[in-house]
Amino acid sequence: MDERETLSIPESVHDILNDKPTAFLSTLRPDGRISVNPVAVMFDGTWLRVSTTKDRRKYRNLIHDPRVAICVPHRNNPNRYVEVRGRAEIRDDGDRSFIDSIAQAYMGVERYPFDRPGDERVVIRIIAEQVSAPAIPLADDPPARPD
């Protein structure tokens, strides 16, 4: 798949995507219910990518139905966010290079330390079909939160 097959994500929210965000990934269960999970997300300027294992519900959901939505709030100002809706492309991460890149970026360690023996890692690449990054009043200067 090449870059022409995904919508571009506005540069105005690249700071959100490059700041070790916690994203919220939505998938559809076979019974039609929505499942939402917090995930670490990596952005390379074009693609949003997430890691998971083949035994996780999100993987099974995406095998059944590749439609996906991911919402990425600014980690210090949730009034700023980007939402991407589209479909997932799944590839094996047999050499664990992608999950290890997440561990390096998010944890400062060379290897991801939490997999169990036999876990099979995959990379979920999100093909953006719709992108929403609304300008919200006071997003850059939110009112003080009460104590």
Q: What is the dihedral of CA 54, 19, 87, 122, to 10 degrees?
A: -20
pLDDT of residue 144: 64
32-81 confidence digits (pLDDT tens) = 999 999 999 999 999 999 999 999 999 999 999 999 999 999 988 888 89
Which pLDDT band, with edges at 50, 70 and 90, does 143 fall under? low
Can you read off the two tokens belonging to residue 146? 């009460």
Cα 115–Cα 27–Cα 107 angle in degrees, nearest 5: 35
**142 is a domain residue:** no
Give the pLDDT band of residue 134 (cuts 50, 70, 90): confident
User: Per the structure block, which two tokens stand in for 38?
Assistant: 């917090």
**147 contacts 140 by C-beta, under 8 angstroms:** no
Inform me whether the pLDDT recorded for 145 exceeds 80.
Answer: no
Confidence (pLDDT) at 75 = 87
What is the predicted pLDDT for the residue at 135? 80
Question: Mean pLDDT score of the chain, rounded to an integer?
Answer: 92
Q: Give the per-residue pLDDT at 126.
A: 98
Please state, in angstroms and rounded to a whole number, the distance separating the CA atoms of residues 76 and 142. Answer: 11
Domains of the chain: total? 1
* The one-letter amino acid at 38: P
Domain that holds residue 63: 3-132
137 domain-assigned: no
CATH number where 70 lies: 2.30.110.10
pLDDT for residue 89 is more than 90: yes
Q: Please report the beta strands in 11-58, taking only residues with DSSP state E, as ranges in sequence order.
A: 22-28, 34-40, 42-43, 48-53
Average pLDDT over residues 85-89: 97
Q: 10 Å Cβ neighbour count for 117?
A: 4
- The values of phi and psi at residue 111, to 5°, are -125, 140
Average the pLDDT over 111-131 and give the result: 96
146 within some domain: no
- Are 102 and 112 in contact, with CB atoms under 8 Å apart? yes
DSSP strand pairing (67-73 vs 81-92): antiparallel
Q: Is residue 104 part of a domain?
A: yes
More confident residue, 2 or 95: 95
